[in-house]
Amino acid sequence: MLGRVRTAVAQLVGGPGPAPAAQPPRDSPAPPRVPPGPSACRGPPAGGGFSRPAFLQLGAEELRRAGDHAGRAVQSPRETRGRLPWSTGYAEVINAGKSQHNEDQACCEVVLVDRRCSPRCNPAPKGCTGEAEGGRGGLCFHYWGLFDGHAGSGAAVMASKLLHLHISDQLRDLVDILQDSSPPPLCLPSDSRVLPAERNRAPLAEADAELPNDALPRFHLEKAVSCESLVIGAIENAFKRMDEQIEREQTTRLVAGGCCVLAVVYLLGKVYVANAGDSRAIIIRNGEIIPMSREFTPETERQRLQVLGFLRPELLGNEFTHLEFPRRIQHKELGKKMLYRDQNMNGWAYKRIEEDDLKFPLIYGEGKKARVMATIGVTRGLGDHDLKVYNSNIYIKPFLSCVPEVRVYDLTQYEHCPDDVLVLATDGLWDVTSDREVADVVTEVLMGYEPNDPCRYTMAACGLVVRSRGALKERGWRLADDKLGSGDDISVFVIPLDGPGNYTR
């Protein structure tokens, strides 16, 4: 039912050399296509010891410079090499030395979704070649993705090349449904295609339903499901399929580490912001800040993790306790009373310390130092299938979720001016720059350019990166107020929200 994506991606995630074009789902007759146009997203990325986003089109020398931890030159797309869709602005900078390569990755694409070919549809005629079928065309979505890798860049690189194809694959069953004005059918025939004539049939009568237990009360209910929630489901499942593919690759090839993902899909007038990790998205509209994501960390997901540790104690490997304590307990404190929180509590209470409480807490530390089983500081994302607690056989992955939270913003509900933007950035930016400061920098930079100057969004993205990186002084990278700048990789998209009507701007 669900398309599988080819596993021949060794070059994508392996060593040097140009990456191949992204691989389409295995059982799809027509590969997802990138339409011709101003998109600068295509083309093979430059080779080298590591990979930067294809749309930057960096040459060998540029790539070397982008990887220089001392200079930390800000990278952004060159106007002369074509423009990103909607004149999207982008900028990035490498970390100050915390990892060898820039482990952030980015992707910006326009993707055409062909309807899935029915199993009965053989031999494959023109309807299976990506052409419009039955007189109706496919679906087109715009896509932006930020991938913040950790413990290696393999998962981030792979996801940056393939996640949008998984989204496309999940949408293929929905091409007709989403373009129809009537509500989605609750049930589809077994060949998975919906022909327009089938759409308005009466719901199946339930009176003759064969209930597994006749004693149960019979409900005659139908829940209304919106097209919007179908797109959300498609994005959620695409993340799961992407994660499964990374797992398959990790068994045979080196796909190192994991990555947080912040992905945006623009489809049929709505912006879907999907977040799994600690990147962040905000909309700045008329100077007002609208949060479009929340972060998933050991602190924000404490209870989800504790519930799992409580219900499946074997996952804690006899080394960890699902209880939270405000500090480590010493053996000599046995019998005393210590503050704790269990999986059901938001408050704290005292409990008498028992032998079991001396185990290391499943969640420990505060803020950026909070960790799951003393190992990882984010609780959602892709990859990390082989991640274990140091010097143990305890896997972290069961506690991590690959499912994003998806928020929806209806672009058609508001009039947007050229200064209204969606900002996506990895945590390297948000660690040192608040939402309000981001909005102020964006507004200030945009004011310096004509509203119809397409380079203004790239300049805003560069402004944000420079502000968060700071300047190199005697005592390291410093912000204007002399506070420590971000030593992390930083990647930023600035997406104008009046874009849909201005593709060619």
Residues 397-416 that bind its own copies (CB under 8 A): 401, 403, 405-406
Q: Contact 5/28 with Cβ under 8 angstroms?
A: no
* Residue 222 lies near its own copies (rule: CB under 8 A): yes
* Residue 442 lies near its own copies (rule: CB under 8 A): no
- Closer CB to its own copies, 389 or 462, in the complex: 389
Single out the segment in contact with its own copies by CB under 8 A; choices: 41-49, 139-147, 366-374, 457-465.
366-374
Residue choice 181, 197, 390, 415 for contact with its own copies (CB under 8 A): 390
Closest CA to 438 of 297, 271, 288: 288
The nearest distance, CB 300 to its own copies, in angstroms, is 15
* Residue 211 lies near its own copies (rule: CB under 8 A): yes
Residue choice 80, 181, 251, 344 for contact with its own copies (CB under 8 A): 344
- Closer CB to its own copies, 70 or 224, in the complex: 224
Structure tokens at 215: 């004693």
φ and ψ at residue 346, rounded to 5 degrees: -105, -25
Task: Report the 10 Å Cβ neighbour count for 481.
Answer: 6
Q: What Rg do the C-alpha atoms of the chain give, in angstroms?
A: 25
The nearest distance, CB 229 to its own copies, in angstroms, is 5
User: Helix or strand or coil: residue 499?
Assistant: coil
* Residue 297 lies near its own copies (rule: CB under 8 A): no
What is the distance between the terminal CA atoms of the chain, rounded to a whole angstrom?
40
Residues 6+ apart with CB under 8 A from 33: 111, 112, 114, 130
- Closer CB to its own copies, 140 or 345, in the complex: 345
Residue 112, H or E segment: strand 104-113
* Residue 366 lies near its own copies (rule: CB under 8 A): yes
* Residue 70 lies near its own copies (rule: CB under 8 A): no
* Residue 98 lies near its own copies (rule: CB under 8 A): no
The nearest distance, CB 484 to its own copies, in angstroms, is 20
User: Helix or strand or coil: residue 147?
Assistant: strand
The nearest distance, CB 367 to its own copies, in angstroms, is 10
Whole-number Å distance between alpha carbons of 237 and 235: 5
Closest CA to 413 of 283, 223, 287: 283
Closest CA to 323 of 296, 303, 301: 303
| Interactions with its own copies, residue window 50-69 (CB under 8 A) | none
φ and ψ at residue 496, rounded to 5 degrees: -70, 135
Residue choice 80, 213, 252, 413 for contact with its own copies (CB under 8 A): 213
The nearest distance, CB 225 to its own copies, in angstroms, is 5
- Closer CB to its own copies, 222 or 482, in the complex: 222
Residue choice 131, 198, 206, 410 for contact with its own copies (CB under 8 A): 206
Single out the segment in contact with its own copies by CB under 8 A; choices: 247-255, 333-341, 410-418, 462-470.
333-341
Closest CA to 27 of 125, 141, 119: 119
* Residue 121 lies near its own copies (rule: CB under 8 A): no
Structure tokens at 40: 């600068």
Whole-number Å distance between alpha carbons of 419 and 435: 16
Residue choice 70, 221, 251, 393 for contact with its own copies (CB under 8 A): 221
Q: Contact 142/171 with Cβ under 8 angstroms?
A: no
Single out the segment in contact with its own copies by CB under 8 A; choices: 113-121, 285-293, 336-344, 482-490.
336-344
Cα atoms found within 13 Å of the Cα of residue 9, Cβ hemisphere only: 29
Residue choice 225, 417, 447, 484 for contact with its own copies (CB under 8 A): 225
* Residue 333 lies near its own copies (rule: CB under 8 A): yes
| Interactions with its own copies, residue window 151-190 (CB under 8 A) | 170, 173, 184, 186-190
